[in-house]
A and B are shown apart, each in its own frame.
Chain A
Amino acid sequence: MKKLSVFQVATKSLLRKKARSLLTVLGIAMAAWVLVSLFGFNRGYEASLNKDIDNLGFQMLIVAKGCPYEAATLMLKGGTGLKYMDESIAASVAAEPEVEGVTPMLMQVVFDPNKGESGGLAAFLGVDPASFPKLKSALPFKAGGWFSEPEAAAAVFGYEVAELEQREVGDLYLIPEKEVEVKVVGILERTGTQDDGTIFLPLRTVQKVFGVKELTSIGIKVNKNADMKAFEDKLYKLPDVQVVSLSQVKTTIMTLVSTARVMVFSIALIAILIAMMGVVNTVLMSVMERRQEIGILKSMGALAGDVFKLIWLETVILCAGGGLVGTGLALVTARLTDVLVRNLLPYSPSGGLVAIDAGLVLMTLGVVTAIGLASGVYPSWKAARMRPLDTIRGEVES
């Protein structure tokens, strides 16, 4: 005759008070849901933010001294105000061990009388076809792609400038004042950055068309493990250049993220403690209600350890069940959570804000099972030490 396993007895015992068991499972599920969603958000936000920063292509920009911000110079002085640096600087920077990649750039601005109602500035950025697309690999194209020839008469339009000029891939564009025609080979998607208003041309083409042999800036991508501050200090030693670093921006945002992480841990901890109290209460109530049954189990041969194991297992089943439901809910509602959080935050990165992976699911299940193990100790111990005679008589102290 096949015997019932302790697991079967525990499961069937829990089914006796279905509503109570279900509510307890839901309580744990909520805690697990909060845990998975919060940690998923923490991971997702950090990963997306890092990706956004990495997608900028380079973390540092060196410009000629006296020209810390291109935009300000352009606005105040037009093309004439631009300062230049020697092209050889790019090669010497690229030789530094901290550098993963460099891309030389030459910015030129001309007045375009056909721009807007009374004309406006047209910004041309000469970029190296070999290095720039690699560093800015995340730039999305609406149509076409990058030029590949160093001196091609080709252009890639930022989203806004393409809209303004009403250009499509294959159209020709006449560079104002220079009377040189270039062919539009690519149009970028909107990025929300200054790239939207820029016309990209090959570096050599810009140098040739505008008669300039130098550079206005060099974009630098630094190795992930490099000491940014030390490298920044090293770059300052180069003559006549100024360093604009994104490391400070990144550090500030990551500090904010770390602060948020502490808050997330606190909230998760509170959710876990509340769930634990709920489980202890439920199981203890169940033990007190079933004391006569526990007495009978002991009279039929169950040792204190057997009773402890039975009640402990019931607690673990409740918690593991809640953990499964909670992680399932978190997975199903991840997209909804993403949308809600995105609406609440003043700034959110472009990638997924909630990242739930197998590791996080397993960690959560491990945590809730550990909660079950911890929560079950007291009720199980209480049940295990009941004497059968007292329980059958109903005299056990509660």
Chain B
Amino acid sequence: MSAPAAYSIEAEHLRRIYHRGPEEIAAVDDISLRIEKGSFTSIVGPSGSGKTTLINVLGCLDNPTSGKLKLEGRVVFENGRGLSEAKLTRVRRDVFGYIFQKFYLVSTLTVLENVVLPFTFFRKPGAGEDVPRVLKLLGIDKRIDHLPGQLSGGEMQRVAIARALVNKPDILLADEPTGNLDTARSEEIGRILQELNVREGLTVILVTHNPRLAALAQRTIELRDGRIHAA
């Protein structure tokens, strides 16, 4: 039996090339990094620096063009060969929880139904028992019967976070989670992410424009033109 991996993510010389007509754009250009288990990492950089592309590649929402990617010690991409969409889905549901700028809640489902929606398709053993605690942790346990339209933006994002957490992910990926929120709500979400990292030991990777939010992380990676500028 192999020893558990020390790193949640290990990336070596990752590249993601897009083509716009004859032009070749390296959205992620030769990036190597390691994300320790239980760490809180923020990724910052100007618009077009490749933040979202990087988090999508790290989060198996997209295959890199080249390089090597390991998750929890398991190689998911190497030598230009990626996993099939079905295999990527299985990796995603085993490892990741995602939060996006938009909340993508189903308007006709209640808060609780939105939170447990992932169970309709996949449920990790013992995952359901944790739902009341997650709801309480995120302060939405009193609003479980409300519809998304009856919630504030901050509450909706907390529901989205709860939905990302119910299947007990190893890594929480948050792509501009406060982009639609005011300052107070943004700080509230930032505190929640920090708490999830500290209290729950969850590996958190946060992409943000907000320097105050980025400062909550233990480590900040700054990207420019698809490359790591400072780490």
CB <8 Å contact, A303 and B108 = no
- Among B113, B118, B120, B131, point to the contact of A6 (Cβ < 8 A): B120
Q: Mark A376-398, 1 if CB is under 8 A from B, else 0.
A: 00000000000111001000000
The count of residues in chain B whose C-beta lies closer than 8 Å to any C-beta of chain A is: 34
Given A12-B106, A301-B92, A392 and B100 touching (CB < 8 A)? yes
- Interface residue A293 (Cβ < 8 Å from any Cβ of B): yes
Q: Mark A5-26, 1 if CB is under 8 A from B, else 0.
A: 1100100110110000000000
Residues in B whose Cβ lies below 8 Å from that of A300: 92-93, 98, 117-118, 121-122, 163-164, 167
CB <8 Å contact, B108 and A12 = yes
Q: Which residue of chain A has its CB nearest to the CB of B89?
A: A303
- Interface residue A297 (Cβ < 8 Å from any Cβ of B): yes
The count of residues in chain A whose C-beta lies closer than 8 Å to any C-beta of chain B is: 27
Q: Which residue of chain B has its CB nearest to the CB of A306?
A: B121
Instruction: Tell me the residues in window 1-51 of chain A with beta carbons closer than 8 Å to chain B beta carbons.
Output: 1-6, 9, 12-13, 15-16
CB <8 Å contact, B128 and A299 = no
Instruction: Tell me the residues in window 92-110 of chain B with beta carbons closer than 8 Å to chain A beta carbons.
Output: 92-93, 96, 98, 100, 102, 104, 106-109
Given A1-B119, A1-B129, A3-B128, A299 and B108 touching (CB < 8 A)? no
- Among A3, A297, A302, A392, point to the contact of B123 (Cβ < 8 A): A3
Q: Which residue of chain A has its CB nearest to the CB of B101?
A: A392
- Interface residue A298 (Cβ < 8 Å from any Cβ of B): yes
- Interface residue A304 (Cβ < 8 Å from any Cβ of B): yes
**Chain A, interface SS category:** helix
CB <8 Å contact, A4 and B129 = no
- Interface residue B56 (Cβ < 8 Å from any Cβ of A): yes
How far does the alpha carbon of A302 sit from the alpha carbon of B88 in the complex, in Å?
Answer: 11
CB <8 Å contact, B89 and A4 = no
Residues in B whose Cβ lies below 8 Å from that of A264: none
- Interface residue A292 (Cβ < 8 Å from any Cβ of B): yes
How far does the alpha carbon of A281 sit from the alpha carbon of B102 in the complex, in Å?
Answer: 27
- Interface residue B116 (Cβ < 8 Å from any Cβ of A): yes
Instruction: Tell me the residues in window 156-186 of chain B with beta carbons closer than 8 Å to chain A beta carbons.
Output: 163-164, 167
A318 CB, min distance to chain B CBs, angstroms: 15
Q: Which residue of chain A has its CB nearest to the CB of B92?
A: A299
Given A1-B116, A12-B106, A302 and B121 touching (CB < 8 A)? yes
Residues in A whose Cβ lies below 8 Å from that of B122: 300-302
- Interface residue A243 (Cβ < 8 Å from any Cβ of B): no
Q: Mark B50-91, 1 if CB is under 8 A from A, else 0.
A: 000000100001100000000000000000000001100110
- Interface residue A139 (Cβ < 8 Å from any Cβ of B): no
Residues in A whose Cβ lies below 8 Å from that of B100: 296, 392
CB <8 Å contact, A13 and B106 = yes
How far does the alpha carbon of A15 sit from the alpha carbon of B61 in the complex, in Å?
Answer: 29
Q: What are the nearest 7 A-B pairs in CB distance?
A: A301-B93, A301-B122, A3-B119, A1-B128, A302-B121, A300-B118, A1-B131
Can you name 27 A-B residue pairings with CB atoms under 8 Å? Answer: A1-B129, A1-B132, A2-B116, A3-B119, A4-B113, A12-B106, A16-B107, A16-B108, A292-B104, A297-B121, A298-B89, A300-B93, A300-B117, A300-B121, A300-B122, A301-B89, A301-B92, A301-B118, A301-B167, A302-B122, A303-B121, A304-B89, A306-B120, A306-B121, A387-B85, A388-B92, A389-B61
Partner-B contacts on A (CB < 8 A): 1-6, 9, 12-13, 15-16, 292-293, 296-304, 306, 387-389, 392
